[in-house]
Amino acid sequence: MLTGRSVTGILHLINGTPIDAFSKKQSTVETATYGSEFVAARTCVEQIMDLRYTLRYLGVPIQGRSYMFGDNESVVNSSSRPDAKLHKRHVALSFHRVREAVASNMLSFIHMDGDKNPADILSKHWGYQQVWPQLRTLLFWQGDTIDEG
């Protein structure tokens, strides 16, 4: 509230297993949610690329694309639809970085409601009752993670 900066929250999973969590205040102040969501999406794309490279260096075969979930439907649509146009000039670098990753088929950017997105635990102030249903599914997975697509 004091600085006006948004918080980026990213949760990385491999085969349904959480391997990394990232939560940080953004370095810029955005005037709209659209800009701050694109900054967060660009940060996530760069981290996904880094994880994919690291896994390849370790000899892990990477099959298919990665999946990135966002709770802002206009940001997801702007980065996923080829006919979408950039309306905010100051968001250009983040916009094109995310669109390039989607166009290269490295990842799919999918809309998910904020109340169902476990990464929101990292970017907002929640009480135990609001967080526990999402956290429980991450910590106590029922089944074999290798069977999940």
pLDDT tens-digit profile of 12-24? Answer: 988 888 899 898 8
- Asked if 76 contacts 113 with a C-beta cutoff of 8 angstroms, the reply is no
Is the predicted pLDDT of residue 143 greater than 70, yes or no?
no
Residue 1 lies in a domain: no
Residue 16 lies in a domain: yes
Per the structure, the complete domain to which residue 81 belongs is given by 7-147
- DSSP string of 78-96, one letter each residue: HHH-TT-----GGGHHHHH
What are the C-alpha distances in Å from 110 to residues 2, 49, 53, 126, 129?
31, 17, 22, 23, 26
**CATH code assigned at 113:** 3.30.420
Is the predicted pLDDT of residue 148 greater than 60, yes or no?
no
Counting the structural domains of the chain, the total is 1
Residue 113 lies in a domain: yes
Residue 25 lies in a domain: yes
Distance CA(107)–CA(7), nearest Å, equals 23
pLDDT tens-digit profile of 32-75? Answer: 778 888 888 999 999 999 999 999 999 999 989 999 998 888 88
